[in-house]
Amino acid sequence: MKRKFKIFRYDPQKDKKPYYKEYEIEVQDGWTVLDAINHIHFYVDGTLAFRRACRSEICGSCAMRINGKNRLACKTQIKFLGKGTIKIEPLPGLPVIKDMIVDMDPFFKNLEKVKPYFIKYSPLPDEEQLQTPEEREVINEAAICILCGACTTSCPSFWANPDYLGPAALLKAYRFIFDSRDEGAKERLEIINDRNGIWRCHAIFNCTEACPKEINITHYIKKLQNLAVNSEF
Amino acid sequence: MEIEKYYHKSDALVVGTGLAGLRAALALADAGIDTITISKVYPTRSHSVSAQGGIAAAIAHASDDSTELHMWDTVKGSDYLGDQDAIEMFVNEAIETVYEMEHMGVVFSRMPDGRIAQRRFGGHSRPRAVYAADYTGHVLLHTLFEQCIKKRVRFFNEFFVLKLVYREDGVVSGVIAWDIRNGGLHIFNAKATLFATGGFGRAFKITSNSFANTGDGLALVLREGLPIEDLEFVQFHPTGLYRLGILVTEGARGEGGYLLNGKGERFMKNYAPEKMELAPRDVVSRAIQTEINEGRGIDGKDYVYIDLRHLGAEKIKERLPQIRELAMNFVGVDPIKEPIPIQPTAHYQMGGIPTTKKGEVTKDSQNTIVPGFYAAGECACVSIHGANRLGTNSQQEAITMGRIAGEAMAEFVKKADLFSIPEQAIEEAEAYVRKYLEGNGSVRPAELREKLHETMTNKVGIFRNEKDLSEAVKEVRELEEQIPKIKVEDKGFIFNLDLQEALETENLILFSEIVAAGALNRKESRGAHYRVDYPKRDDENWLKHTLAWKTPEGVKFDYKPVVITKYQPQERKY
């Protein structure tokens, strides 16, 4: 079946400003958007650029805006996108390097601000630290975030204020603060208990809707807000 | 056209940011060594993230177990080609690796009492796989990345290595890389360089591997006239999603999943009556391919089923959530209600850059060390996996050998001098990209890759024979002749994906000849290498490692003995 794609194009080396280019290709049953743009890149227009790696929803490379929504190209089946032209653009809110490739450095820099690593001051045991399945369950969902950036770049609060840590960084903070083994909750809470931290979230739920791993990010940010209000730190 | 050059110096250089590269970078950071880490992707995009089922260690939580048993299973799994001194070290270190990763915060799945849980895996005689649902690689990789942030590891993300600097005096003094994001040559000069560049599955049509797995490290080594070990041993994972090759973890069988043919039979009873679905991967993949070849695929087609329905919704959701998601999204099947269509998929290379037990790269049958050069993880061949790797031993190897190699590098650089990078090497690297940016080729990289995929999948697959392999060697050489005709449409400097793919395609073709020629050369069947014309293992003539060099006249071979300490070869039955 023939399908039309309207794709955002921008190469700062040769284009004064971005434009959209249309491609019409034959798509096969079961193709994802990634299959389609790979096909265009491989056989129609070698200059088209985008990131991708695992093509199985786990590496987080291929987040982009597809028909106005942030999604993973590898997870998006073309047959579920209706009949019209499929519009493909880079994630919003981050500087565009070329075509669908955005500069992820601001995203990762925000992540680094929340001390996104396990913190332990007590002596470690020779073997593992114990954690019951129930304790683990509290952070299970948050721990499988793939850092694709779909959430943070869907958030109007982030668009308006790039200093906002954003949902992905806050989710990472949650993953450690609520880890029964971790001892860095207080120092992380001091960082995120800020107008550019948890209080910039206005529960718009864009992040939760955008998350390709279907993580209820807004819910976890609310948990952090509750903790900040009720904690004795 | 001016290509800018940028010069960097550090004591240590790590190429690749999967489990092996990141663990090595951490070991170097812990030792206070000035280190630069390069990757062609952002670290969390590295293919280790896709590993699913688990990481092996004989911590004996789910049953009795011992390092001796882990060693024995690995030796037998390797079809006696694994070096037993390396395997013995590996199984002992494996336990420390698991606890160390837990201490870094990995969210391993737990038993009700709070200890780390373990599950069964193919070829392991005990439930030995430590896991985090079916996201084990993801949580391990992200945890190492988090620790690298903590230790302020210096990353150069999205750099593509064009040349390994192997000097005329036999010393490695760094690499030369292309800045994917901005263009330009970066000359990385270091006392010690580690390759942790991962696997090569993209040489095949059906593969579980990421787009990035183009065996770049192997090609860079071959181009410098250094050898690669045992590359003919390619692991085909038994269960890739039909037509796509996307991995369905062996953990699905570890949790009790069945394999069913077109007649609805659990056909593994005919191939491995004792271990059934939990025989090692080489055995199970051959069984599936035999069922398909003999017309017992589903509706006579080229796939069979993995059936999880009897595990029940709760267990599937808790232990195999990613498999369920992948099956639903990619083949429209909910494994709670229907069996999943699968076929074998190119997954892992047992061979690679030959190294010592400390990760030092060697260059001949006497194991002569190349000063300043290290390798770890899938791109390396220690050899722990021999002719067939057991599931969960690769994540373990990547982390354990990454740590060991990183520690060895830290010791080395304290005493070593910094050797310069010859101007000629920089000129060669520049010419290497210029030929694409200024050239006027006519063949798209994708066209060459498609032909390579046909050859490698049809003629260098699970079942091999003299005729197919001879043709494959010839066809790959013909593709090599096409390389100068590669067309790069994009002439720009900024994120030139077209250029990157041309370079990757060249790499794929280069090492594929070694795979095909090695398979043609080895006239026996051992582990994952199965010759229908030589169906028996031949210890008298072939209990030895292949070393292969790329030369203008073709592939040159030499051999080195297998290290056998505790277990003499015997018949391998499951």
pLDDT in tens, chain B (574 residues): 899 999 999 999 999 999 999 999 999 999 999 999 999 999 999 999 999 999 999 999 999 999 999 999 999 999 999 999 999 999 999 999 999 999 999 999 999 999 999 999 999 999 999 999 999 999 999 999 999 999 999 999 999 999 999 999 999 999 999 999 999 999 999 999 999 999 999 999 999 999 999 999 999 999 999 999 999 999 999 999 999 999 999 999 999 999 999 999 999 999 999 999 999 999 999 999 999 999 999 999 999 999 999 999 999 999 999 999 999 999 999 999 999 999 999 999 999 999 999 999 999 999 999 999 999 999 999 999 999 999 999 999 999 999 999 999 999 999 999 999 999 999 999 999 999 999 989 999 999 999 999 999 999 999 999 999 999 999 999 999 999 999 999 999 999 999 999 999 999 999 999 999 999 999 999 999 999 999 999 999 999 999 999 999 899 999 999 999 999 999 999 9
Q: What is the pLDDT of residue A167?
A: 98
Residue B241 lies in a domain: yes
What's the CA gap between A177 and A118, in Å, rounded? 9
Task: Quick: pLDDT tens for A29-44.
Answer: 999 999 999 999 999 9
pLDDT mean over A121-136: 98
Instruction: Give CA–CA dist B222/B555, Å, rounded.
Output: 10
Chain B residues with CB inside 8 Å of A45's CB? 489
CATH number of residue A87's parent domain: 3.10.20.30
CB-CB: which of A54, A57, A129 is closest to B325? Answer: A57
- Choose the closest CB to A128 out of B115, B322, B445: B115
Whether B571 contacts B253, CB under 8 Å: no
Asked if A124's CB is within 8 angstroms of B42's CB, the reply is no
Structural domain that includes position A48: 2-102
Determine the pLDDT at residue B279. Answer: 96
Residue B494 lies in a domain: yes
Output the domain CATH number for residue B269. 3.90.700.10
Q: What is the CATH number of the domain that holds B431?
A: 1.20.58.100
Cβ contact, residue pair A53, B495, below 8 Å: no
Q: How many domains does chain B have?
A: 2
**Of B326, B347, B368, the domain-final residue:** B347
Furthest-apart CA pair in chain B: how many Å?
Answer: 66
B9 occurs within a structural domain: no
The catalytic position among B23, B45, B120, B281 is B281
Whether A109 and A202 map to the same domain: the answer is yes
Which of A102, A134, A157 terminates a domain? The answer is A102
d(CA A214, CA A198): 20
Asked if residue A233 has pLDDT above 70, the reply is no
Q: Same structural domain for residues A96 and A112?
A: no
Residue B218 domain flag: no
Angle between helices B497-521 and B423-437 (to 10 degrees): 110
**Is B281 among the catalytic positions?**
yes
Of A84, A102, A120, the one marking the end of a domain is A102
Domain ends where: A66, A81, A102? A102
Residues B428 and B537 in one domain: yes
B343 and B431 share a domain?
A: no
Q: Tell whether B280 is covered by a domain.
A: yes
Clarify whether residues A92 and A153 are in a common domain.
no
A31 with A95, same domain?
yes
A128 → chain B, closest CA residue: B99
User: Which of B41, B50, B444 faces A43 most closely, judged by CB atoms?
Assistant: B444
The pLDDT score that the predictor gives to residue B1 is 84
Based on the domain organization, do A119 and A75 belong to the same domain?
no
CA B28 to chain CA mean position, Å: 23
Distance, in Å, from the CA atom of B570 to the CA atom of B552, rounded to the nearest integer, reads 39
Are A119 and A10 contained in the same domain?
A: no
Contact between B492 and A14 using a beta-carbon 8 Å cutoff: yes
Q: In angstroms, what separates the C-alpha of B86 from chain A's closest C-alpha?
A: 24
Q: Mark whether A92 and A121 lie in a shared domain.
A: no
For B490, nearest residue in chain A (alpha carbons): A47
Q: How far is CA B446 from CA B97, B462, B488, in A?
A: 40, 24, 11
pLDDT for res B17: 98
Residue A55 and residue B210: Cβ atoms within 8 Å?
A: yes
Interface confidence, given as ipTM, is 0.98
> In 3D, which of B151, B111, B144, B166 has the Cα closest to residue B21?
B144
Q: Are residues A83 and A36 in the same domain?
A: yes
Do A97 and A206 reside in the same domain of the chain?
A: no
Subunit contact A58:B50, Cβ cutoff 8 A: yes
Distance from CA of B136 to the nearest CA of A (A): 10
Q: What is the CATH number of the domain that holds A135?
A: 1.10.1060.10
Give the three-class secondary structure for B433.
Answer: helix
Please tell me the predicted confidence (pLDDT) of residue B256.
96
* Cα distances (Å, whole numbers) of residue B477 to B469, B503, B547: 12, 17, 19
**How far lies A194's CA from each of A189, A225, A233, B241, in Å?**
9, 10, 14, 46
Cβ of A55 and B246 within 8 Å?
A: yes
Whether A168 and A194 map to the same domain: the answer is yes
Mind telling me how many Å the CA of B157 is from chain A's nearest CA? 10
B419 domain-assigned:
no
Residue of A nearest to B42 (CA): A61
Same domain, A46 and A138: no
Residues A192 and A143 in one domain: yes
Range of the domain at B342: 235-347
Beta bridge partners of B56: B129
Q: Which of B107, B115, B138 faces A139 most closely, judged by CB atoms?
A: B107
The answer to whether residue B338 is domain-embedded is yes
Distance from CA of B49 to the nearest CA of A (A): 6
C-beta neighbour count of B481 within 10 angstroms: 9
pLDDT tens per residue across span A66-78: 999 999 999 999 9
Residue appearing with tokens 């056998």: B564
